[in-house]
Structure 1
Amino acid sequence: MYGISVFAFFYLFFVKIDYGNCQVQQMQNKLVCIEHNECGACLSAAAHCRWCADINYNSGAPRCNDDESLVNTGCSQGLIQRPEKSVWEVMENSSLQDMTPNSAENVVQIQPQRIHLSLKPRETKKIQFSYRPAKNYPLDLYYLMDLTWSMKDDKETLVSLRDDLPALLKNLTDNFRLGFGSFAEKPLMPFISTDARRRANPCSMEEEACEATYSYKHHLSLTNQVNEFIEHVNSSSVTANLDNAEAQLDALVQVITCGDKIGWAEHSRKIIILLSDGLMHTAGDGKLGGATKKNDDQCHLDDKGYYSDAATYDYPSIAQLYRLLEKYKVNVIFAVTESVKDHYDSLNQLLEDFTYVAKLESDSSNILKLVKTGYEDIVSVVDFHDDSNLGPVKIRYFTDCGVEGGPLKEETRCTGVEFGMTLRYEAHVILESCPEYKSFTQTIRIAESQLGQDALTLEVDIQCGCACSGAAQLDMSPMCPINAHFVCGVCQCNKGWSGPTCDCAIGDENASAELLAQCREPNTTRALTCSGAGDCLCGECDCDIGFTGRYCQCKMCDVSLENGLECGGVGRGVCACGECACAPGWSGPACDCTNDTNSCISPAGGDICSGHGECVCGRCECSVAGDSGAKYWGSFCESCATCHNPLCAHAEPCVACSLRHDCGARACARGVNYTVTELLTDLVTDNLTTCILRLEEDNLECEYKYTYSAKPSSGVEIMIGGKECYSPTSAKIVTSAVVIMGCVIAAGLIIVLFVKCGQIMSDRRAYAKFVKEAQESRKNMQELNPLYISPISEFKLPDSFPRDKND
């Protein structure tokens, strides 16, 4: 009986705790809703919030609440407004298609092409699409040449490439067209001489005849007839000007904007190759000669192909050129000489997305090489842009840049792209908040910045409003005050008006005491207007940044560092007056701590954190390895100084077959998505675990070092460094010989050392014996020897002998 009582006590205790937690959760859910007094704001607050649009709903309870509460307080079921259903529909999904011989219209480089979806506030939806550059995509190549006097030999070089030019372009694409135009300088003082004879023949100083100076001239529209192109280049005439700066920008604007006369195709890669040995004039320089009007970015070619208004409009600015390149999707290759290359390199830094700079030899002899390298550089870059900035939706891009099976990284720009390579993208479409509480559709176009012809169109339904706010509600508006209209069962003030009867213009500082009282939170000891964190405008609080609530009594909730959304966004939690009410499976101040432990399990399988740590917020926190005091390390605590690494063993078959280039379906699968990359440079092992694979190759034993980066979502990314090989038999013989020789030498040294030590000890003993005997001899003879005769003789001078005084 006593045991049953104890059990009942603990049972009731824990049930009470659980019941208390449920009550707290229910109170938080209600608190999220009841603060709102408009239908749109109510439904946007949380997924469980509902709005009562019943005109006869006279209850003192709030109109924004959960379903059960509204029914219990007398709201008609049929007039309860609920969030709209989510929308997701792929409307157009043609397969990727390369260029066909007959038509460029069938080319498909992006898939899918059109998606219809919906977004609620704080919601993120992921869209996957693929991009593959089409083979033999049409190329429109327009040669824009500086035909001032210093470029005379360059024109002759271009004519000499009659046979080599088509062969080069054939290697780039089967569908190409060529066009030709030239530029010089505005025919205005001080850019040219105003002398009548010099104006008619600017080359008279060189005693040769040439054409009068012009800004830009269009010679040949785009054509696939190479001979016709060469003939027009050959027949063109050079001209001259006074300074070393020309009208490159004037010419570029005309080439870009005069699409009908140039002949740009709708579906083509448009490239202008500009050859010059001079600097360029920019906006403002034209005013020196009287061209005072701002460049209007329009086409002004006359019937002969000349830029007719060069003397009227100023040179365009770099910003104008950038906008035109982006709008018309045109790329420019600046082929310039060494003397002015730095000038164009600076320009390229401002127009990096659409330009390429290459060094041109003084006679243009390397022009074909520059065309090839410039074209390959341009087509190897893929960069996606969108126009989502026109609305509230934001987009983040993740891509593998064509690495098959590789992890997705947040990036829009990929380099080193080759024809036939498929790039996988994932776009995160985010609606952080409602700009205004009404539903509308935003159309977003995602396109590759270099071409722009193929695009993914997103039709995004912004679900911020209510179905009851339509035109049918206008019939009830006469029931409302003069500055209000009827919306979803209540009278709502028109924009710019507020107060109980909508008679207070927002911005009016002479608010009455009654309106000020509506900005004070009731039942509080401190009756501060808007809780001291906002301004009272006609009975409504305009909260300072960081505060929210009807009386600005709540602080803003924490924002997730992962996605930048309040309380982690839809599905993770909602903001309940300054605190995040997290959904099941999430915790933390911003509901960004997942309780799911699957992300802590190694791709090779096994226990959570390999049994050497704890899974905290979806990440492993490793424990200490034994009594050594050192910690386990690795994404899954799989490594330590003395333990066997399971991921190294699990990855060995995939690394081995990748090195042999014979991986089958099983070797690199095994339930894990492996990405193996062989590095040409040194292996960098910072913050990565290093593994060693030993293989036998051509009777040699080789060691490969490789690192891995393991992530649950993208699998295991492996990078293999260089190898070290040696012959096992020869190595053993050499090792043995070295060991024997070392032992012999050591033994000899030891023997010599012992002999030498013996000699030294013997000499010391003999010397000690000699010294002892000598001492004994002196002692016995008392140092007197009758036979001893001293070798020293002593002589003394007589005292009477004269001496030097200095002696």
Structure 2
Amino acid sequence: MYAISVFVFLCLFFGKIEHGNCQVQQMLNKLVCIEHNECGACLSAASHCRWCADINYNSGAPRCNDDESLANTGCSQTLIQRPEKPVWEVVENNSLQDMSPNSLENVVQIQPQRVHLSLKPRETQTIQFSYRPAKNYPLDLYYLMDLTWSMKDDKETLVSLRDDLPILLKNLTDNFRLGFGSFAEKPLMPFISTDARRLANPCSVEEEACEATYSYKHHLSLTNQINEFIEHVNSSSVTANLDNAEAQLDALVQVIACGDKIGWAEHSRKIVILLSDGLMHTAGDGKLGGATKKNDDQCHLDDKGYYSDAATYDYPSVAQLYRLLEKYKVNVIFAVTESVKDHYDSLNQLLEDFTYVAKLESDSSNILKLVKTGYEDIVSVVDFHDDSDQGPVKIKYFTDCGVKDSPMKEETRCTGVEYGMTLNYEARVTLEACPEFRSFKQTIRIAESQLGQDALTLEVDIQCGCACSSQVQERTPMCSINSHFVCGVCQCNKGWSGPSCDCAIGNENESAELMAQCREPNATRSIACSGAGECMCGECECDYGFTGRYCQCKTCDVSLENSLECGGVGRGVCVCGQCACTEGWSGSACDCTDRNDTCIAPAGTDVCSGHGDCVCGRCECDVADESGAKYSGMFCESCATCDNPLCARAEPCVACHLNASCTDTCTIGSVNYTVIEMIGTTVTDMTSCFLRLEEEGLECEYKYTYSPESSGVEISISSKECYTPTSARIMTNGLIIMGCVIAIGLIVILFIKCAQVFSDRRAYAKFVKEAQESRKNMQELNPLYISPISEFRLPDSFPRDKSD
């Protein structure tokens, strides 16, 4: 065995052997089997591993091997243990159906209802199911009212809604029932006054009479008689306490736990509407008054409907309330006043799956509106849970949330669900590894979290054992006292280990003989468990990340696609830290397919359109031109300077879909095209196609992408832009240009005219100024005028008398 192991790994490391080398693959197949010494572990190792349960089989050869090897080494064909046949059966599959009048038996909200399947280690099965909320599903609505003194007016408001209440509920569902209860406070000090007068009449300070303080009182079981409900509300009496916190949680636990007294129906949507203007006490507060026992989540109502053990049990915790709401599938609407709404918002964050908080007016005048909005908010949410945590099976959910042609997303919770919507789900059920090597059944219940009455039940056969395991012989001369005979070999009883099953686990003595069993023969380093584990009674318990009989192997890579070792069943098996991939798969985790059909474009023939190589089922594109730019697209069908042939092939189906002249699926040649509209979403695909169509006088451009599916090609229309057609745009642009030219000409003419006027005005002003200057210098005399007066002057040198 060890020689084979060494040879295989040397070949893989030095030889660069092709993947299709049959001889190496056969040795890998043997190696993954022969190291196992139990039947269950053998059959779980790989699909080709077989176990020889023949008591007379040659002890020198491995009992775990492939069919051919076991037959060649003398194992009887009738005693060769083989993997069980896979199981897949839809046991119950009733069609979805709304409620029939006066009958609940025919209501079906989930389809199918029961599936029987099998799982092997590293195997995933996909179960498709649908969910549709049934119309007129029964509603059980229980009013739980704070009847302390401050809520006196609110009770009267509720009584005044005698006529409006049934109309509102009829609009929600034809099948409804109402119940009524009230709460106040634990009748203990310091929550109430212990004065004798105040005990009998807590409202004596208000000079009015009221009922003695109580924690919770059930007034009316669920009924469809509105008048009876109003009468019980009207006849109820208020009470009082000292602090501003009440016993809401005490009351809620009793309402939920006392199902037979409240009258909850098995098939109904159960809603409690809690009206209050006060805060709430939680676990621990009751100890102040002497209620020291932890709340037991049980019903404690006496014959008169009072919570009889309020003074004994403490208030429940929020965690206790959550578990009860989840167990009994009850929803709570907290209708509270503005002053305490923040307190209940914080509570709602912890109980989000089952509660709704709304603002209540001081006189409760908007109570009907709150009932309607709260009910619609609760029924618009669909969330699926399961109980698979009780076993080794894990489940992932994918859904379209009722949106037609929407892709499946990993999600359990859908919002905005309306009556008539069908939600499609996929449950991917996986068994990563065998918890123990035996076959057993696990029953998983997948149910809607707020109702829980309708469910999909999965009956899962965990195929981790052998048929011969059921034929155990506890005592046989062949086996030691601490072992039993099973499947042709002696196996140690639980708690015992070692070659002779004489070492008690947890109390082992590390003798040289036992330690030798933990050392790999012929290894260069004789370290127990290869230094990667602990030797326990001659067997290695490996550290995380290591495996093998001597912890000599590392664990194999996990596929990123499905989170399974070596890709899971059908892709490969782990052989001492190396994935041995089956035909058609390669890569370190066997997540690289050798098929190239996914690289061939629809209706095409060339791999990657002749412009690239198919690697792991995807195209790696070549360089398109000297600039270094590459071909693009899923099939390397596009480049910056070439047309996309796939766009042209898909155009007729896209146009047909947009014109509503065909169904969502059309066929061109041998290819089916499915068109879905996802306008407004972000397209991650780098290759997009464009289609231009005329719609209502506008030219619209649609952007879409394509992706190949098993049934054909899926076309996703991601955007739409509309504008005026080309001819109209040319005419419009021409008119705009002409208008612009005319406007510019007018502006130029106006500018020239303004310049001329400005120039003329400047010239005229200059003329006027010169004329004025001329008149001033000439004193306004005509230069041709000759004066009749003669004037003579003596020369300045002529002597003059002093008298002159």
TM-score by length of 1: 0.86
Q: Is the 8 A contact 1:191 1:242 kept in 2?
A: yes
Q: 1:602 to 1:243 in 2, by over 3 A?
A: farther
Q: Is the 8 A contact 1:162 1:227 kept in 2?
A: yes
CA apart distance, 1:382: 1.1
The CA distance in 2 between the partners of 1:332 and 1:17, in whole Å, is 66
Pair 1:213-2:189 in alignment: no
The CA distance in 2 between the partners of 1:651 and 1:165, in whole Å, is 56
What is residue 239 of structure 1 aligned with on the other side? Answer: 239
Q: 1:178 to 1:308 in 2, by over 3 A?
A: same
Q: Is the 8 A contact 1:677 1:719 kept in 2?
A: yes
CA apart distance, 1:311: 0.9
What is residue 574 of structure 1 aligned with on the other side? Answer: 573
Deviations, residues 606-641 of structure 1 (Å, cap 9, x unaligned): 754454433322233333333343334444445544
In structure 1, the gaps of 5 or more residues are 1-15, 755-807
Pair 1:718-2:716 in alignment: yes
SS at match of 1:434: coil
Q: 1:730 to 1:427 in 2, by over 3 A?
A: closer
The CA distance in 2 between the partners of 1:638 and 1:217, in whole Å, is 75
Q: Is the 8 A contact 1:477 1:484 kept in 2?
A: no
What is residue 599 of structure 1 aligned with on the other side? Answer: 598
Deviations, residues 198-252 of structure 1 (Å, cap 9, x unaligned): 2222222222222221111111111111111111112212212111111111111
CA apart distance, 1:692: 4.7
Pair 1:337-2:337 in alignment: yes
Pair 1:676-2:677 in alignment: yes
The CA distance in 2 between the partners of 1:155 and 1:399, in whole Å, is 44
Question: What is the aligned residue count?
Answer: 735
Q: 1:262 to 1:486 in 2, by over 3 A?
A: same
Deviations, residues 775-799 of structure 1 (Å, cap 9, x unaligned): xxxxxxxxxxxxxxxxxxxxxxxxx
Deviations, residues 257-303 of structure 1 (Å, cap 9, x unaligned): 11011100000011111111111111111111111110000011111
SS at match of 1:383: strand
What is residue 497 of structure 1 aligned with on the other side? Answer: 496
The CA distance in 2 between the partners of 1:198 and 1:647, in whole Å, is 86
CA apart distance, 1:738: 2.6
The CA distance in 2 between the partners of 1:504 and 1:288, in whole Å, is 57
SS at match of 1:477: coil
TM-score by length of 2: 0.86
What is residue 546 of structure 1 aligned with on the other side? Answer: 545
CA apart distance, 1:441: 0.8
Per mean C-alpha deviation after superposition, the further-off stretch among 254-263 and 618-627 is 618-627
What is the RMSD computed on CA atoms of the aligned residues? Answer: 2.8
The CA distance in 2 between the partners of 1:160 and 1:371, in whole Å, is 16
The CA distance in 1 between the partners of 2:630 and 2:144, in whole Å, is 65
The CA distance in 2 between the partners of 1:430 and 1:581, in whole Å, is 21
Q: Is the 8 A contact 1:406 1:717 kept in 2?
A: no
Q: Is the 8 A contact 1:530 1:536 kept in 2?
A: yes
What is residue 159 of structure 2 aligned with on the other side? Answer: 159
What is residue 277 of structure 1 aligned with on the other side? Answer: 277
What is residue 93 of structure 1 aligned with on the other side? Answer: 93
- 1:675 is aligned with what amino acid? I
SS at match of 1:474: coil
The CA distance in 2 between the partners of 1:590 and 1:132, in whole Å, is 40
The CA distance in 2 between the partners of 1:201 and 1:385, in whole Å, is 49
The CA distance in 2 between the partners of 1:643 and 1:245, in whole Å, is 75
- 2:628 is aligned with what amino acid? G
Pair 1:701-2:702 in alignment: no
What is residue 532 of structure 1 aligned with on the other side? Answer: 531
- 2:716 is aligned with what amino acid? I
SS at match of 1:671: strand
SS at match of 1:672: strand
What is residue 226 of structure 2 aligned with on the other side? Answer: 226
The CA distance in 2 between the partners of 1:340 and 1:606, in whole Å, is 70
What is residue 169 of structure 2 aligned with on the other side? Answer: 169
Q: Is the 8 A contact 2:330 2:450 kept in 1?
A: yes
- 1:716 is aligned with what amino acid? E
Q: 1:193 to 1:660 in 2, by over 3 A?
A: farther
- 2:672 is aligned with what amino acid? G
What is residue 520 of structure 1 aligned with on the other side? Answer: 519
- 2:707 is aligned with what amino acid? A
The CA distance in 1 between the partners of 2:172 and 2:650, in whole Å, is 40
What is residue 45 of structure 2 aligned with on the other side? Answer: 45
Q: How does 1:24-43 map to 2 (within 5 A)?
A: 24-43=24-43
Q: How does 1:547-562 map to 2 (within 5 A)?
A: 547-562=546-561
- 1:488 is aligned with what amino acid? C
CA apart distance, 1:459: 1.1
Q: Is the 8 A contact 2:54 2:79 kept in 1?
A: yes
Q: Is the 8 A contact 2:702 2:720 kept in 1?
A: yes
Q: Is the 8 A contact 1:690 1:705 kept in 2?
A: no
What is residue 772 of structure 1 aligned with on the other side? Answer: none
Q: 1:635 to 1:136 in 2, by over 3 A?
A: farther
Q: 1:639 to 1:580 in 2, by over 3 A?
A: same
Q: Is the 8 A contact 1:498 1:506 kept in 2?
A: yes
Pair 1:434-2:434 in alignment: yes
SS at match of 1:143: strand
What is residue 613 of structure 1 aligned with on the other side? Answer: 612
Q: Is the 8 A contact 2:192 2:242 kept in 1?
A: yes
- 2:564 is aligned with what amino acid? L
CA apart distance, 1:580: 0.5
Q: How does 1:352-363 map to 2 (within 5 A)?
A: 352-363=352-363
The CA distance in 1 between the partners of 2:336 and 2:646, in whole Å, is 54
CA apart distance, 1:50: 0.9
Q: 1:464 to 1:94 in 2, by over 3 A?
A: same
CA apart distance, 1:309: 0.8
Q: 1:730 to 1:428 in 2, by over 3 A?
A: closer
Q: Is the 8 A contact 1:599 1:712 kept in 2?
A: no
CA apart distance, 1:728: 6.5
Q: Is the 8 A contact 1:701 1:728 kept in 2?
A: no
SS at match of 2:151: helix
What is residue 586 of structure 1 aligned with on the other side? Answer: 585
Q: How does 1:54-69 map to 2 (within 5 A)?
A: 54-69=54-69
- 1:296 is aligned with what amino acid? D
SS at match of 1:162: coil
SS at match of 2:473: helix
- 2:561 is aligned with what amino acid? E
The CA distance in 2 between the partners of 1:638 and 1:569, in whole Å, is 33
Deviations, residues 510-565 of structure 1 (Å, cap 9, x unaligned): 32111211211112222221111111112111111111111111111111111111
Q: How does 1:225-374 map to 2 (within 5 A)?
A: 225-374=225-374
Q: Is the 8 A contact 1:706 1:719 kept in 2?
A: yes
What is residue 734 of structure 2 aligned with on the other side? Answer: 736
CA apart distance, 1:438: 1.0
Q: How does 1:407-426 map to 2 (within 5 A)?
A: 407-426=407-426
Q: Is the 8 A contact 2:653 2:673 kept in 1?
A: no
What is residue 804 of structure 1 aligned with on the other side? Answer: none
The CA distance in 1 between the partners of 2:717 and 2:80, in whole Å, is 58
Per mean C-alpha deviation after superposition, the further-off stretch among 120-129 and 590-599 is 590-599
CA apart distance, 1:727: 7.2
The CA distance in 2 between the partners of 1:398 and 1:203, in whole Å, is 58
In structure 2, the gaps of 5 or more residues are 1-15, 753-804
The CA distance in 2 between the partners of 1:400 and 1:620, in whole Å, is 29
CA apart distance, 1:17: 7.3
Q: Is the 8 A contact 1:688 1:709 kept in 2?
A: no
Q: 1:475 to 1:730 in 2, by over 3 A?
A: closer
- 2:21 is aligned with what amino acid? N
- 1:145 is aligned with what amino acid? M
Q: Is the 8 A contact 2:43 2:82 kept in 1?
A: yes
Q: Is the 8 A contact 2:664 2:675 kept in 1?
A: no
Q: Is the 8 A contact 2:706 2:716 kept in 1?
A: yes
CA apart distance, 1:69: 1.0
Q: 1:551 to 1:609 in 2, by over 3 A?
A: same
